[in-house]
Amino acid sequence: MKAKIAVLAGDGVGREIVPEAIKVLKAVAEKCGHAFTFTQGDIGGQALEKVGVPLPQDTLNLAKQSDAVLLGAVGGPKWEGLDYSLRPERALLGIREALGLYANLRPAKLYPNLAEASTLKKEVVEGIDILVVRELTGGIYFGKPKGIEKLPNGSERGTNTEVYTTEEIRRIAVVAFEAARRRRKKIVSVDKANVLESSELWRRVVTGVHQDYPDVELGHMYVDNAAMQLVRNPRQFDVMLCNNMFGDILSDEAAMLTGSIGMLPSASLGAQVGLFEPIHGSAPDIAGKNIANPIATIASAAMMLSFGFKLDKEAELVEQAIVKTLDLGYRTKDIQSPGMRVVGTTEMGDAIVRSLG
Ligand code: NAD
């Protein structure tokens, strides 16, 4: 297949890890007979320096005209004092909104041999492979009324509104069921239906969508129990379907089970172009030293292959190459352990390309 990929490396380690993911995508394209083209765009602090805004219109146009977006990271201490409208991080919200990315997919997978990186016991986390599907453009972060108002007695009142429509719930549920079909076919939908009406509707709509996916097992869990079960017995989960706020919290909890932020990819999907990025930031403390772990970004490229282009076989090749490289003992500094071979960012990228065979 042919695909146009917009490349937004951004700031800090973004500029080091994204080229490694491109290396891997090029190798996969060559191996499997695909034609991927890569076009660089500006985003974040780097765009701010160049053209005065963190998300230039040219970048948005490029993203919209592409089949997928590969993003590194944005931000850094240099821009921390700026007004919020100019902060590099604004570009993330801007591009997500412009592309209508309503579904955020975050896998939390523990690679073999990395169990010791988790703060939980090895026997609890070994073998976990969870996908959190989070609704990204609705719920309490966007609902109205919202704000802080002064009361006549001099006190103040802060308000946010948790609101979901049938359509918003249905489309994120469809993403979760489709994803489950390509995994172990099991969904736990997270809500607080014992207390919240919006959750009652959520549960009803998700149950309705389930009728179209009889091959997928659906369970429901209250969010407080889900938070507990994630640390008690995380292996019970395959896909966790969450609203915006519950997904925000539980995806961080699930991610941390695996121990290393440098390993975790994400995909944000909408009606058309998907955006694929590591979950970590620009890591200014290690930027420019060739020590950042590129695996989160390479795994994001694998998500691009499967969720963006429906190239599941190719995505699996990349996943297997990551596993093989770790099995061979290659480690970047953040995941090093005694007896392993510590390599830099570019060497890890090269080793994964070699493991593709
Ligand atoms: P961070 O994720 O950049 O770094 C947190 C810690 O993890 C640091 O110690 C860092 O060295 C380490 N780390 C991160 N990625 C790594 C990798 N690939 N390999 C090895 N170690 C890695 O979070 P932060 O320090 O809180 O934020 C730094 C900047 O990034 C801030 O400006 C923040 O706003 C921004 N940020 C951007 C994004 C994004 O672009 N999506 C996300 C989070 C934070």
Question: pLDDT band for position 29 (50/70/90)?
Answer: very high
Atom of ligand 1 nearest to the CA of 334: 20
Three-class SS string for 116-169?
A: HHCCCCHHHHCCCEEEEEEECCCHHHCCCCCEEEECCCCCEEEECCCCCCHHHH
Check pLDDT > 80 for residue 296. Answer: yes
pLDDT number for residue 187: 98
CB 286 near ligand 1, within 6 Å: yes
67 is catalytic: no
Beta bridge partners of 105: 133, 267
Atom of ligand 1 nearest to the CA of 297: 18
pLDDT number for residue 233: 96
pLDDT number for residue 337: 85
Domains of the chain in start order, with CATH, are 1-102+270-357 (3.40.718.10), 103-263 (3.40.718.10)
Would you put residue 63 in left (φ > 0), alpha (ψ -120 to 50) or beta? alpha
Q: Exactly one of 58, 212, 252, 327 is catalytic; which is it? A: 252
Question: pLDDT band for position 114 (50/70/90)?
Answer: confident
Q: Which of 280, 300, 335, 346 to mutate to test the pocket of ligand 1 (most atoms within 8 A of CB)?
A: 280
Residues 6+ apart with CB under 8 A from 165: 138
pLDDT number for residue 13: 98
pLDDT tens digits, residue range 60-75?
999 999 999 999 999 9
Q: Exactly one of 67, 248, 330, 334 is catalytic; which is it? A: 248
**What average pLDDT score do residues 182-193 get?**
97
HSE-up (13 A, CA, CB side) for residue 238: 16
Check pLDDT > 90 for residue 133. Answer: yes
Q: What's the rounded Cα separation, in Å, for the pair 5 and 301?
A: 10
Question: pLDDT band for position 271 (50/70/90)?
Answer: confident
224 is catalytic: yes
**What average pLDDT score do residues 263-277 get?**
95
Measured in angstroms, how far is the CA atom of residue 282 from the centroid of ligand 1?
5
CB 73 near ligand 1, within 6 Å: yes
CB 45 near ligand 1, within 6 Å: no
Nearest partner of 75 among 12, 9, 6, 7, judged by Cα:
12
330 is catalytic: no
**What average pLDDT score do residues 334-352 get?**
95
CB 223 near ligand 1, within 6 Å: no
Question: pLDDT band for position 258 (50/70/90)?
Answer: confident
Residues 6+ apart with CB under 8 A from 191: 199, 202, 203, 220, 221, 222, 223, 243, 246
Q: For residues 263 and 229, is the Cβ–Cβ distance under 8 A? A: no
Least confident of 6-10, 93-97, 199-203: 93-97
Check pLDDT > 90 for residue 256. Answer: no
Nearest protein CA to atom 1 of ligand 1, as residue: 281
129 is catalytic: no
Q: What's the rounded Cα separation, in Å, for the pair 127 and 53?
A: 43
Q: What's the rounded Cα separation, in Å, for the pair 14 and 29?
A: 22
Pairing state between β 68-73 and 186-191 = unpaired
Average pLDDT, the chain: 95
Q: Exactly one of 192, 238, 330, 334 is catalytic; which is it? A: 192
pTM greater than the 0.85 cutoff: yes
pLDDT tens digits, residue range 139-170?
999 899 999 999 999 999 999 999 999 999 99
pLDDT number for residue 298: 98
Check pLDDT > 80 for residue 259. Answer: no
